[in-house]
Amino acid sequence: MIEILKQLSDAGGISGFEFVLAPKVEELLRPYCDEVTRDQCGNVIGWVHCGETDAPTVMIESHMDGIGLMVKNITDRGFLTFVPIGGIDPRILPASEVVVCGKKELFGVIGAKPPHLQSQEDAKKAPKISDMAIDVGMSAEEVKQIVSVGDMVYFKTEAVSLPCGKGFSGKYLDDRAGVVSLLICLERLKGHKLPFHLAVLCAVQEEVGLRGAKMGAHSIFPSAALVVDVCHGNTPNSGAESVFAPGSGTVLSLGPNIHPKMAEIAKRAAEEKGIQFSLDVDGGNTGTDAWAVQVARTGIATLLLSIPLRYMHTTVETLSFDDVTATGDLLAETLIHLNGEDFSSCI
């Protein structure tokens, strides 16, 4: 599964361009699902049928898109200006290596005016996106043969394992680590007969407004949903509130976005099976697909599990693979516990 996470991390597929990643996700789901489909907006949906026509449906979900850039203009000197796709801190962009997806993929670097050529006042400020450009080392005429306005640009960083423990660093671990946790869950469920149909939603466009989850949850409309995303991992300068150490297990959210019975079942499953977890208290909107799922149609009983992640929305997002495994394990055990009285009482 670590190798699968590396493959997903290294791929493109930013918000709105997930179609380049979707075939790989479909391939990964097929060994576990009775059928795998893709809807009109690009969501990948796997189905595990229980054999009972009138059985309810439960959904597990993670988004598969990542942040990136889109070509805005080609200057008369061959530079590419761009706009951000998703929440990007402009400070991470200068000197970044990127891949421009035109008629063929082009390697490029993001440049900005060096401090030597700026005024002392300007050199103290973070550069604006409007002051940066992608350099692919070609003339305007050469670039225009390959690149068009609107082409996707993704970060080139390749995932690596860190030397200690199960550390892992790369881009788009938000939330392709969540996709891998769904696969771990499906692997753990082999041989288990669930009393409901299981829908597996790998959603698009979370980074630009939870859009794929909104559409997918509306279409599937399960009785209950278990959503996976990332949360903030601790860093040297982080406070103690709502940050969690990589390696400390999965994070179970509590609050208005979470159905209390779902949280109770997940907590009991973790304790019974010895799955490492922490609790995160959120007073309102979790800012994840769980919010979109919860309010779909007439409402869905929703649970959120999160994987601690350092340096979110950068090209060096960092986590412990043990937490990805713990999340997948708790997904599976919670689904196994969703039966009989427990399942009925959380609808």
User: What residues are designated binding site for Zn(2+)?
Assistant: 63, 174, 207, 229, 313
Angle between helices 2-10 and 321-337 (to 10 degrees): 110
Q: Please give the annotated binding residues, written as ranges.
A: 63, 174, 207, 229, 313
Element (H, E) at 121: helix 120-123
Catalytic entry in 35, 142, 187, 206: 206
Instruction: State the Rg of the chain over Cα.
Output: 21
Vertex 289, ends 36 and 198: CA angle to 5°? 35
Amino acid sitting at position 276? Q
Cβ-based neighbours of 35, under 8 Å, separated by 6 or more: 46, 47
Q: Is 52 annotated as catalytic? A: no
- Note whether 334 and 226 are within 8 A (CB): yes
Ordered DSSP codes for 297-338: TT--EEEEEEEEEBSTTSTTEEEEHHHHHHHHHHHHHHHHH-
- Note whether 38 and 21 are within 8 A (CB): no
Ordered DSSP codes for 249-292: -EEEEESTTS-HHHHHHHHHHHHHHT--EEEEE-SS--SSHHHH
Cα–Cα distances in angstroms (integers) from residue 224 to residues 102, 147, 212, in the given order:
41, 44, 17
Residue 93 dihedral angles phi and psi, to the nearest 5°: -80, -45
Place of tokens 């988004």: 63
Structure-block tokens of residue 120: 């002392």
Catalytic residues: 206
